[in-house]
Amino acid sequence: MADVVRARLRVYGVVQGVGYRYFVRRAATALNLAGFVRNRSDGSVEVVAEGEKAAVNALMEQLRVGPTYASVERVDAAWEEPGGDLAGFTYGF
């Protein structure tokens, strides 16, 4: 069985108002990850993703690039214990 992990990611740069959350949801769903994506008041985007370690790492690589109109400065990652409490990949509030 593959290693299941959870990562809490913060993405900084021009990542709000450019389709970034849609991009993340689409990428995470394609990778069969559970979690959510939401805008933060400081202009960053927060992503919580849980699933196979290789899939979470693949998502992190995609987050560093982002959609066409985004300009990603950095992605900070904090690894957490997977909880198995997430279903699907949604927009958080």
Q: Which of 39, 57, 64, 74 is catalytic?
A: 39
Is 21 annotated in the active site?
Answer: yes
- CA 10, CA 47: separation in Å to the nearest integer? 6
Q: Which of 6, 21, 57, 74 is catalytic?
A: 21
Is 39 annotated in the active site?
Answer: yes
> How far, in whole angstroms, is CA 80 from its chain's centroid?
14
DSSP β-bridge partners for residue 46: 10, 38
DSSP β-bridge partners for residue 39: 45
**Residues belonging to the active site:** 21, 39
